[in-house]
Amino acid sequence: MLNSLHTVFGLRDSGGRLVFLAPIAGYSNSPMRRMSQRHGASMTYTEMASARGLLNPTEKTWSLLETTPQEGAVVAHLFGTEPDVFAEAAMLVERTKRFVAIDLNAGCPAPKVVQTGAGAALMKDPQRVHDIIVAMRKAVKLPITVKTRLGPSPDNMAVYEVLAAAEAAGAAAMTVHGRFTPQGHRGKVNVQLIGEVKRRAKIPIIGNGDVYSSYTAWQMFEEAGVDAIMLARAAIGNPWIFGDFRAMFVANEKPPQLPRTKIRPRRPIRVMQDTFDTHLELLRVHLQRLQEKYGFVENVEAALVTSFRCHLFRYLHSLKGANELRGRLNELATLEAVRLAVKECLQCEADYRMKAPQ
């Protein structure tokens, strides 16, 4: 089945197990995707984009699908409710020749999405999921996949009906987030139920939800038996996690189950500084491109600072000086202020390491 996923997405990755970057609203733009790929992500997904929004060529929605030639395999992640709209949007996406697949969102729990009948609300209507996938498959040659959850509630395990609908429609793969809709991103992920979906499935299954350490990655593969795993929040400010997982797979040993406070390996200060600088530069170029192409980025530096603040505290997680910086994140209004804050935090961490026992 692993070879099937390689075939589905046209992946050249020969490193064994597949680890993907999830679609993360407000985060998984081109710079984050490129950082993830540089550190070992086999494939990445765009932010969630409205299928209807893509029908307007001047719509801001297209900026969410902005890619660069330097990116590897990227999947366009779309949400909506109308099969004919999805079909037209899929054709437009395919014409860009930038994506390896189109993914249907049938799992977003955000109220503003669910209230429109999209996202996780689609789990209550497996026939509509079927019809959307069929419409897109008739319109394009790109593989069509779906991302969903366990169900609307514990007493409504709709994932099996969604799986059957997706398979009947010809979906190429399905991602399962191991929580129910009301949980959002809280509570424990049910690895066993993801495993049950995998056992019933005739198509590849990608495991998603709370994969934040080498142990939870191992657990998702070994206990659920999935064909690939997908990382979301654990990859924000932590692109190195993809390399950590690759090293774990090569070692081929069950990793220890560590407390969340101790799961991040200590990175060399120089490595962290270089990663910050690279991400900032990629983001600057990305925003400059959006300004030139779409015109809605009025001040590149201001947008750069605002955008990177979302990543900054995650990058500095657990470092000495990070808590103090967290309290004044909103005060960082210029690129110079961001660079100075990072430098001070890393210096504080370096001083601590010099004094602390190894």
CA distance 332 to 338: 6
| Each residue's pLDDT tens digit, 133-155 | 999 999 999 999 999 999 999 99
The whole model's pTM is what?
A: 0.94
Interior CA angle at 25 toward 226 and 87, to 5°?
75
Here the tokens at position 229 are: 């795993």
Domain chopping of the chain, boundaries: 2-257, 269-355
User: pLDDT 10s digit of each residue in the chain, 358 long?
Assistant: 445 888 889 887 655 789 999 999 999 999 999 999 999 999 999 999 999 999 987 778 999 999 998 899 999 999 999 999 999 999 999 999 999 999 999 999 999 999 999 999 999 999 999 999 999 999 999 999 999 999 999 999 999 999 999 999 999 999 999 999 999 999 899 999 999 999 999 999 999 999 999 999 999 999 999 999 999 999 999 999 999 999 998 888 898 887 776 778 889 999 999 999 999 999 999 999 999 998 888 899 999 999 998 898 889 888 887 887 777 877 888 999 899 888 989 999 999 888 876 5
Cα separation, 56 vs 124, in Å, equals 29
194 CB neighbour count, 10 Å cutoff: 26
Nearest alpha-carbon partner for 148 in 169, 170, 124: 124
Active site residues: 108
**CB 122, CB 178: distance < 8 Å:** no
CATH topology of domain 2-257: TIM Barrel (3.20.20)
Q: What is the pLDDT of residue 1?
A: 45
Return the structure tokens found at 105: 């969102």
* Token reading at 217: 């990655």
